[in-house]
Structures are given as structure tokens and as C-alpha cells.
Amino acid sequence: MPTELINALTDRLGARRVIIDPEAMIQHLTEDRGLFKGEAFAVVFPETVDEVSFVVRQAIKANVSIVPQGGHTGLVGGAIASRAIIIAMGRMNQIQSLDAVNSTMTVEAGCTLHDVQQAARDADRLFPLSLASEGSCQIGGNLSTNAGGVNVLRYGNARELALGLQVVLPDGRILTDLSGLRKNNTGYDLRDLFIGAEGTLGIITAATLKLFPLPRKKVTAFAGCKSAHDALALYDLLRCSLSDNLTAFEYLPRFGLDIVLKHADGTRDPLRDTHQSYVLIELTTPDSELNLADRLEGILADAFERDLVQDATVAASETQSAALWALREYMSEKQKLEGGSIKHDIAVPVSRVAEFIDVAGAACKTLLPGIRLCPFGHMGDGNLHFNISQPVGMDKSEFLAMWGQFNRVVHDVVADFGGSISAEHGIGMLKRDELARYKDPVALDVMRLIKQALDAKGLMNPGKVIPD
């Protein structure tokens, strides 16, 4: 235990903001899926960027590593500590400013995503990042992991939504660019180096975010198709006609709908017949005079003529819209009730996503006949959660013991497609070995050079992202 360090931190932050009691630390050391269990000398709760800088400088002096932690909702162990000081960002939760005409807001890293969304809405603007954990995840973590979600198709990943950052560097210095400029060609783009670096190059303490006009109209639809290929053709038709009015295009296989209908109370199949593939479509516009529902129905009629769509329903109310979204949102949770499931978060070029479902699906079935494929998610981004449910009646642990084998099969197909083995969730500790296997060695080496340049001591969130 680095007593001197703990004393210095306690002197500055006060005992209530430096937790060393193992019981009190536990929620910062473990994570929901139970994949990792960390250990820490202390969890500290800074309230200002200067305090973050102080903690980092003190930790360096003591040669103790630092792990920044946001809402601790990550899925790859990126915020798990090992003999480190955890910097919990939740008390830096102020909305610092909002400029409606510039369409920006500046927020501290510890604001929850939900609070950021709400502050934007209160100013008649939209902050579009949206994902399942939005009630508890923090914007600093969203940026550090370049979070995705259901609105990427229209608005981009977290990266595209940040105009500037404030970062505490691995040496404790503070880098600040919160000016909210749309254009600024004065040197290297440092911002995007910290976004997606999972805290290994510094700690994001604040950000200036892009806002958008608040949508005034929304139309949600659910369509059944003969195949993922037809679903993809429907995507192209919608995108070319409606461009950025198309804000979500989510794919579900019949098996996915089946398990939701089976396990989620109050759900019902919105279409009369069964289809192999489904898509959830959402259009939005800030233009209150635009009749999106008519436009969508016209395009769906066209798609029906072309035999791309077998049946479709357009929500007539917010309640119906929510019911359609529920079919998609229950997917992860309800799959657990079908026994073991092995998961992949992959992306391929959008044009090849249907082909990927075929090829990777066939490869998995060769590995283990009887599996039930559940590839679902952000088809319009080329990003699928390529999940596999165990065969009915198989022993769950026996199935889960094949996790590595399925990873190999699926990720090899991803590599053949020029795809990504981590589209949304990042690398953390979980996928470092996979990264070593699939990433261009030149890219890995450039990553190491940058890490070494900014964090020569290797104390900033060590053991994450970069393979040993």
C-alpha cells in the first residue's frame, strides 16, 4: 500500500473522496458480466480538472498506475484496475455551458449520457448519442470508448459528436480545447487521439459536443423480408431517397423475434405471417412540415413491388413506435433465457453485411450443428452483434467452453471481409489477444510509439488496448 500517496490524496481531496475500504471499493473493482475482478489501492473522486491533474502527478511520483473510470458500464474490462488508483469521474458532472446557435455544449466528463441528452433537449436541441446504458454511462467514457449505438447511421459515433476535449495527460499536464469551432486547421488533430484510446493516453475531463436541431417528427416502421439480402436492398433504397432522414435501420432475424415474443411479456408479432428477416426503420426530421409517414409508405410500397419487402407496418402512435422498438431492445436480455450465448461485436462494409451473415453463419454451423444464430443490430452501419445461442438441450458450460473456437471462426470470416472484430465495444483487456492476431502489425507499432511518446512510464490505464 503506497501510504505516502494515499496521504497526499487524502490531504487534498479529503477522506470522503479517497476510498480505501475494500467493501466500499467493490463496485469499482468488479463488473456486471463477472469476467474481471480488479484491485486498487484507492478510489478517488475528483471534482475539478486540477484535482485530476493533482492525482495523476502524485501517482506518477509514487510510481503507481492510474485507471480512469466513468459509469463502469464497459463490456471489455477497460476500467478494471490492478494495483492502481482508480479515478472515478462521477463527481465532475456539471453541464458547463450550452450555445444553441453554435449547436454545442460543454460538459464535464462525469455527466451521465442521459443528463447530457436532457440538457440538450431542454435547449431545444438534440444530442444524438443513444445506447442501452445511457442512464448510468458517462460521456467521458462514451468518448474514451468512441461509443456507438442506434443513431450512428445518421449522426456518427461518439467521435463525430465531439468538437473538442479537455484531457489530463499521463504526465499530469492539462490539454484544453473547448472552443467549439467547426473549422480549425492549426496543427495535429489531438482530439481524435484521445477519443477511443480507452484512457490509455490520458483522462478526458470535459468535452465540447455537437448538437443538432431537435427532431419534430418521427416515423417508426417494422418490415418483414425474405432474407438479409432483401433487407439490405431496402436499406439502400431508403438511404438514397431519404438520406439523413433515415436515422435507424436495425436488423433482427426470425430467431431473435421468436425469443423476444416468447420471453418478453406484452410483446406481440406486429406482422401476420412469419418472415426470415426483419428490420426496424426509423425516420426523423426537424421539419415539422415534412410528411415523413407518407414518404415512407410510398417507398415501402415501391419495395413491396420490387419484392424486397413481404409485409410492413408503420407505427400510428408513440405507443406503437415504442412497442416496435421493444422488440429490438429486448434482444440482448431475452437471449440469456435461451441458455448460453456466445457474442461478437463485428462490423463489415455495409454492402457485405448480408453476405457476412450467410458465410459466418455457415462456418459456425459447421463448427457445431444445432446452434441457433442470432445476428442482430445496426445493419445500416455494417455492425452486427453476431450472437450464437447454444443448441437446445446442450450443456451450457460445454457450449460456453467453445467461446474461443467460435471467436476464431467468426473473426476469421470478419478478417476475410476486411471487417472489425470490435465495432462498438473497444478492446480493453478482453480483446487484446484478438487485436494482436488481427490488427496490422504496422498499426500496432505506431500505436506503441504514440503510447510510449505520451506515457513513457506506462502508468496510464496499463494493460488495456495495446497487446503485450
Q: What part of residues 145-164 is at the interface with a second copy (CB under 8 A)?
A: 145-146, 148, 152, 157, 159-160
Whose Cβ is closer to a second copy: residue 118's or residue 179's? Answer: 179
C-alpha cell at 404: 474461443
CA angle 162/53/109 to nearest 5° reads 30
Q: Using CA of residue 46, residue 50, residue 56, residue 59, what is the dihedral sign?
A: negative
One of 15, 24, 181, 322 touching a second copy (CB under 8 A): 181
Examine residue 219 and tell whether it contacts a second copy (CB under 8 A). no
C-alpha to C-alpha distances, 452 to 137, 252, 253, 456, nearest whole angstrom: 29, 43, 45, 5
Cβ 464 to a second copy shortest distance, Å = 11
* Interface segment toward a second copy; rule CB under 8 A; list 127-135, 265-273, 335-343, 344-352: 344-352
The per-type count for the chain, helices as H runs and strands as E runs, is 17, 19
Distance, CA of 70 to CA of 142 (rounded, Å): 8
CA neighbor of 74 nearest in space, from 168, 146, 2: 146
Q: Does 230 bind a second copy (CB under 8 A)?
A: no
What residues from 268 to 297 belong to the interface with a second copy (CB under 8 A)?
285-290, 295
Report the distance separating Cα 137 and Cα 121, nearest Å.
18
- CA 422 to chain centroid: 10
Q: Per-residue x/- marks for a second copy, 293-332, CB under 8 A?
A: --x--x----------------------------------
Shortest Å, Cβ 324 to a second copy:
23
Near a second copy in 442-461, by CB under 8 A: 442-447, 449-450, 452-454
Q: What gap in Å lies between CA 61 and CA 430, rounded to an integer?
A: 29
Nearer of residues 77 and 196 to a second copy, judged by Cβ = 196
Residue 359 binds to a second copy (criterion: CB under 8 A): no
Q: Which among 4-12, 37-45, 325-333, 343-351 is the span making contact with a second copy, rule CB under 8 A?
A: 343-351
Contacts of 315 (CB under 8 A, 6+ apart): 219, 220, 221, 222, 321, 323, 324
Strand partners, 225: 277
Residues 114-133, interacting with a second copy (CB under 8 A):
124
Q: Out of 35, 95, 123, 174, point to the residue binding a second copy (CB under 8 A).
A: 174
213 vs 123: CA distance, rounded Å: 10
Residue 392 vs 443, nearer CB to a second copy: 443
Question: 196 vs 253, which CB is nearer to a second copy?
Answer: 196
Q: In what order do the strands lie in the sheet with 18-19?
A: 18-19, 39-44, 82-88, 65-69
Among 101, 272, 305, 397, binds a second copy (CB under 8 A): 101
> What residues numbered 365-394 form the site for a second copy, per CB under 8 A?
378, 381-383
Q: Which of residues 233-262 bind a second copy (CB under 8 A)?
A: 235-236, 239-245
CB of 381 to a second copy, least distance (A): 4
Residue 166 in grid coordinates: 479537455
How many residues bind to a second copy according to rule CB under 8 A?
98
Q: What radius of gyration do the chain's Cα atoms show?
A: 23
Among 217, 254, 352, 437, binds a second copy (CB under 8 A): 352
